[in-house]
Chain A
Amino acid sequence: MPDKTIEKTVDALPGDSGRTAVAAMTDAGPAPEKARSLWSDAWHDLRRNPLFLISAVLIVFLLVMAAWPGLFTSASPRHADLAKHYLGAPNWTNFFAADWFGYDVQGRSIYARVVYGARASITVGVGVTVAVTVLGTVIGMIAGYFGGWTDTLLSRVTDIFLGIPFLLGALVILNSFDDRTVWVVIMALAFLGWTQIARVARGAVITVKQSDYVVAAKALGASTTRIMFRHILPNAVAPIIVVATIALGGYIAAEATLSFLGVGLGDSAVSWGGDVARGREQLRIAPHTLLVPSVMVSITVLSFLMFGDAVRNALDPKLR
Chain B
Amino acid sequence: MGRYVARRLLQMIPVFIGSTLIIFCMMYALPGDPVRAMMGDQAYDPAVVANIKKDLGLDQPLLQQYANYMAGLVQGDFGTQIASQRPISDVIGDAFPVTLRLTIFAFTFVTLVGIGLGLIAGLRPDTLRDRGLLTLTLFLVSMPSFVLGFLLQYLLAFKWNVTTPTVTDSTDFSQLALPATVLASLSLAYVARLTRTSIAENLRSDYMRTAVAKGLPRRRVIGVHLLRNSLIPVVTFLGIEIGSLMTGAIVTEGIFNVRGIGIEIYEALTRREGATVVGIASLMVLIYLAASLIVDLLYAVLDPRIRYA
Contact = CB atoms under 8 A, between A and B. Distances in A.
Interface of A: 156-157, 159-161, 163-169, 171-173, 175-178, 249, 253, 256-257, 260-263, 273, 276, 280, 283-284, 287, 290-291, 294-295, 297-299, 301-302, 305-306, 309, 319
Given A294-B147, A302-B138, 4 more contacts: A164-B19, A165-B246, A261-B251, A302-B142
Contact of A298 (B22, B142, B153, B270): B142
A172 B246 CA distance: 16
Interface string B188-210: 00000000010000000000000
Nearest to B240: A162
Interface of B: 14-16, 18-19, 22-23, 26-27, 30-32, 138-139, 141-147, 150-151, 153-154, 158, 197, 243-244, 246-248, 250-251, 254, 265-266, 269-270, 272, 277, 281, 284-285, 288-289
Contacts of A287: 154, 158
11 contacts: A165-B243, A167-B251, A168-B23, A172-B23, A249-B141, A253-B144, A261-B266, A284-B154, A291-B150, A299-B142, A319-B197
B45 to A, nearest CB: 23
Overall SS of chain A's interface: helix
B158 A302 contact: no
A99 to B, nearest CB: 21
B284 A165 contact: yes
B18 A163 contact: yes
Contacts of B32: 175-178
A291 B147 CA distance: 8
B158 to A, nearest CB: 5
Nearest to A254: B144
Contacts of B250: 167-168, 171, 261
A214 to B, nearest CB: 29
Contact of A176 (B18, B147, B248, B272): B272
Contacts of A161: 19, 22
B158 A301 contact: no
A173 B26 contact: yes
B31 A177 contact: yes
Nearest to A178: B31
Contacts of B22: 160-161, 164, 169
Contacts of B143: 298, 301
Contacts of A159: 15, 18
B154 A283 contact: yes
Contacts of B153: 283
Given A160-B22, A164-B23, A175-B270, A301 B281 contact: no
A172 B150 contact: no
A319 B19 CA distance: 36
Contacts of B16: 163
A295 B154 CA distance: 14
B150 A261 contact: no
Given A176-B30, A291-B151, A256 B138 contact: no
Contacts of A172: 23, 26-27, 269, 277, 281
Given A168-B247, A171-B250, A276-B146, A176 B288 contact: no
A161 to B, nearest CB: 7
A299 B22 CA distance: 35
Contacts of B266: 171, 261
A176 to B, nearest CB: 4
Given A176-B272, A309-B138, A156 B247 contact: no
Contacts of A157: 18
A168 B144 contact: no
Given A163-B289, A168-B284, A256 B144 contact: yes
Contacts of A177: 30-32
A169 B144 contact: no
B26 A160 contact: no
A164 B285 contact: yes
A116 B265 CA distance: 32
Contacts of B18: 156-157, 159-160, 163
Contacts of A280: 150
A113 B277 CA distance: 34
A173 B146 contact: no
A301 B18 CA distance: 33
Contact of B26 (A165, A176, A276, A319): A176
A169 B26 CA distance: 8
Contacts of A263: 269
Contact of B144 (A262, A284, A297, A309): A297
